[in-house]
């Protein structure tokens, strides 16, 4: 009797590094074009065409980098934690590679969110940094990313490194709801969420539409960067496999 398969077929295909290498090779150009168009279009729209805020003036335009990078820093973390869980439960090598590849991108997004927040804070709050709940929990997110990266580079054995970083990533998930609700649970300088799934945004459409374009552009960009890193990781770990030899010989 055949073994019962609990997950859809693509889930099992994802477990094959070779299949992942091929499918990401086909997806990369599409995501690259989408990311390029969305980010350039969104940036021009954000900087030159979106209206200035009636209170904050033009410094408000920083939101078009700040919000997408902050959203992505958290989404990338969730992806990393899910990949970590899959790697721990199903011993899936590709999931380990996704975890390792997502960490530096997520860390750079956390840096961008914190830095643009600080730059925005100066003209708006009069201070680069305050030890406020939202800012502090975001800083912890950056440290979690750095922890995952450090574990991966410090532990020589690949599967031990993957297990250790998966456990850290999963424990750190507790920080994600803290970031999200920090603006509601504590008194904070930080304004509440810009986008909510259940409500209409509090800003006019000319302001939030370019923001939505930037958010989608950042997601596409993340996909591109993640696939690039993942493909490197696949080639490295499968370097003894026959299909990688063939690839290397062909080019």
Q: Which residues bind other proteins (CB under 8 A)?
A: 39, 43, 47-52, 57-59, 61-62, 65-66, 69, 105, 108-109, 111-112, 115-116, 119-120, 122-123, 221, 224-225, 228-229, 231-232, 235-236, 239, 244-245, 248-249, 251
Taking the complex as a whole, how short is the minimal distance between the CB of residue 66 and other proteins, in angstroms?
Answer: 8
Residues 6+ apart with CB under 8 A from 93: 15, 17, 87, 237
Nearer Cβ to other proteins, position 9 or 26?
Answer: 26
Q: Are 70 and 141 in contact (CB under 8 A)?
A: no
Q: How far apart are CA 20 and CA 5, in angstroms?
A: 20
User: Angle at which helices 63-90 and 133-154 pack, to 10 degrees?
Assistant: 40
Q: Is the dihedral of CA 110, 136, 152, 26 positive or negative?
A: negative
Taking the complex as a whole, how short is the minimal distance between the CB of residue 171 and other proteins, in angstroms?
Answer: 26
Taking the complex as a whole, how short is the minimal distance between the CB of residue 181 and other proteins, in angstroms?
Answer: 26
Nearer Cβ to other proteins, position 15 or 36?
Answer: 36
Q: Are 245 and 238 in contact (CB under 8 A)?
A: no
Nearer Cβ to other proteins, position 68 or 163?
Answer: 68
Nearer Cβ to other proteins, position 84 or 106?
Answer: 106
Nearer Cβ to other proteins, position 76 or 81?
Answer: 76
Taking the complex as a whole, how short is the minimal distance between the CB of residue 138 and other proteins, in angstroms?
Answer: 16
Taking the complex as a whole, how short is the minimal distance between the CB of residue 5 and other proteins, in angstroms?
Answer: 33
Residues 6+ apart with CB under 8 A from 17: 93, 94, 97, 234, 237, 238, 241
Rounded (5°) CA angle 236-239-243: 125
């Amino acid at each position: 009797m055949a073994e019962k398969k609990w997950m859809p077929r693509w889930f099992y295909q994802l477990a094959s590094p070779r299949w992942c290498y091929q499918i990401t090779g086909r997806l990369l150009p599409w995501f690259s074009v989408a990311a390029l168009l969305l980010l350039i279009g969104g940036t021009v729209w954000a900087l030159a065409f979106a209206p200035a805020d009636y209170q904050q003036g033009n410094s408000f335009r920083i939101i078009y980098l700040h919000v997408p990078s902050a959203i992505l820093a958290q989404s990338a973390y969730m992806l990393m934690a899910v990949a970590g869980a899959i790697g721990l439960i199903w011993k899936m090598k590709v999931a380990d590679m996704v975890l390792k590849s997502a960490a530096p991108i997520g860390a750079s997004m956390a840096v961008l969110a914190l830095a643009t927040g600080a730059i925005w804070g100066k003209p708006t709050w009069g201070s680069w940094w305050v030890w406020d709940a939202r800012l502090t929990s975001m800083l912890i997110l950056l440290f979690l990313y750095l922890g995952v990266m450090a574990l991966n580079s410090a532990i020589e054995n690949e599967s031990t490194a993957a297990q250790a970083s998966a456990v850290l990533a999963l424990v750190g998930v507790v920080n994600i709801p803290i970031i999200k609700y920090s603006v509601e649970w504590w008194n904070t300088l930080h304004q509440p969420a810009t986008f909510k799934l259940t409500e209409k945004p509090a800003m006019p459409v000319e302001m939030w539409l370019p923001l939505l374009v930037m958010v989608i552009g950042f997601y596409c960009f993340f996909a591109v960067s993640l696939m690039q890193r993942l493909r490197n990781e696949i080639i490295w770990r499968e370097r003894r496999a026959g299909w990688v030899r063939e690839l290397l010989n062909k080019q």
